[in-house]
């Protein structure tokens, strides 16, 4: 699997919901969801299969919640 293509595909899917998806050092967490900033951060050490499963769940959640997360004050949720 081409990792760059995989990442670009997920970035486009999240962008359609107004959410930014990036890869960055997030300490010991695998995924950080910042609802207030509309951002999902992946740890670079995360295995592709695990990241894919998590992103599917996060994307589905954001689709259901997209109208309700506007203006929420909560910030970081790690999984």
Domain ranges of the chain: 3-65
Other beta carbons within 10 angstroms of residue 24's beta carbon come to: 10
SS3 label, residue 43: coil
pTM flag (> 0.85): no
Q: Residue 9 has what pLDDT?
A: 95
CA angle (24 as vertex; 68, 11 as ends), nearest 5: 50
Q: Residue 40 has what pLDDT?
A: 92
Residue-wise pLDDT tens for the chain (79 aa)?
Answer: 688 999 999 999 999 999 999 988 766 668 888 888 889 999 888 888 988 999 999 999 888 876 555 555 454 454 4
SS3 label, residue 79: coil
């Amino acid at each position: 699997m081409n990792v760059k293509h995989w990442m670009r595909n997920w970035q486009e899917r999240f962008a359609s919901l107004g959410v930014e998806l990036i890869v960055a050092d997030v300490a010991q967490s695998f995924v950080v969801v910042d609802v207030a900033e509309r951002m999902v951060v992946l740890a670079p050490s995360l295995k592709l299969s695990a990241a894919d499963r998590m992103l599917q769940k996060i994307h589905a959640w954001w689709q259901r919640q997209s109208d309700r997360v506007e203006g929420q004050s909560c910030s970081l949720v790690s999984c």
